[in-house]
A = this chain, B = another copy of it.
Amino acid sequence: MSEREISQAVIGRLPRYFRYLGELRDRGIERISSQELSDIMGVTASQIRQDFNNFGGFGQQGYGYNVNLLCEEISRILGVDREHTLIIVGTGHLGQALVGYTNFARRGFVFRGAFDSDPSLVGRWIRDVQIRPIEEMEEFVRTNGIEIAVLTVPKDAAASMARRLVSCGIKAIWNFAHVDLEVPEEVQVENVHLSDSLMKLSYSIVRYEQGR
């Protein structure tokens, strides 16, 4: 069972499966058929079976999937069966919002540090994380073996900040700056380009109006 060749589209759908299955598990549901899951999630049962077949099928046995087992398998594939350490770089409103989400910690994503170049913010607390001067960032990443940097700095600062993070051995950057980063292939990047998302929404509005 190789997971190397799985398409980005399938990977992109895994977190949503994980979310729905986690809710089923929390409600005490032990088994579910692909058809029942299909009804809840609004995707076809054949899509679900196809997606799951990429990972060996997760052992559906006629009477459905074992919800608990499925959650565990998907969490292992997504790498959320273990803790990930994060720092936030840029502690404006967005940075503060992200550190404040208890939901991330519940999934094993734990903020260990926060950094800002604005001296007036240094020393403040966001939940249990104190804001430190940006000059301490590299040393902190090395000393604490931080895996993921969350980049919520302005666009103009993003490229240089990414270079600094790469230089101190960061494994991944979750990038909210409205720019595509250039990093070596060993550094993983996931972009959240909010303007792009908003433009897709306006596209849908316009298309719907023209189609009426």
Find chain B residues with CB under 8 A from A1 CB: none
Chain B residues lying within 8 Å of A92, measured Cβ to Cβ, are 97, 100
A12 CB to nearest chain B CB (Å): 7
Q: Tell me, yes or no, whether A29 is within 8 Å of chain B by CB.
A: no
**CA gap between A52 and B146 in the complex, in Å:** 41
Complex Cα spacing A207 to B10, Å? 14
Considering only residues 50-92 of chain A, those with a C-beta below 8 Å from chain B are 77-80, 84, 92
**Least Cβ distance of A47 to chain B in Å?**
14
A78 touches B3 (CB 8 A): no
Interface residues of A, dominant DSSP = helix
What chain B residues lie within 8 Å of A208 (beta carbons)?
171, 186, 188
Q: Kindly state whether residue A25 has any CB partner on chain B within 8 Å.
A: no
Report B-chain residues with C-beta under 8 Å of the C-beta of A210.
3
> Is A157 an interface position by the 8 A CB rule?
no
Residues from chain B with Cβ under 8 Å of A78 in the complex:
199-200, 202-203, 206
Complex Cα distance, B11 from A14, in Å, reads 22
Minimum CB–CB distance for A150 against chain B, Å: 9
Q: Are A192 and B203 in contact (CB under 8 A)?
A: no
A104 on the interface (CB 8 Å rule)?
Answer: yes
What's the nearest-Cβ distance from chain B to residue A187, in Å?
A: 9
For the complex of A and B, the 7 pairs showing the least CB-CB separation, nearest first, are: A79-B206, A93-B97, A15-B196, A188-B204, A79-B202, A94-B97, A190-B201
Given contacts A103-B195, A109-B198, 7 further A-B contacts (CB under 8 A): A14-B203, A19-B195, A93-B94, A93-B100, A98-B194, A148-B202, A172-B202
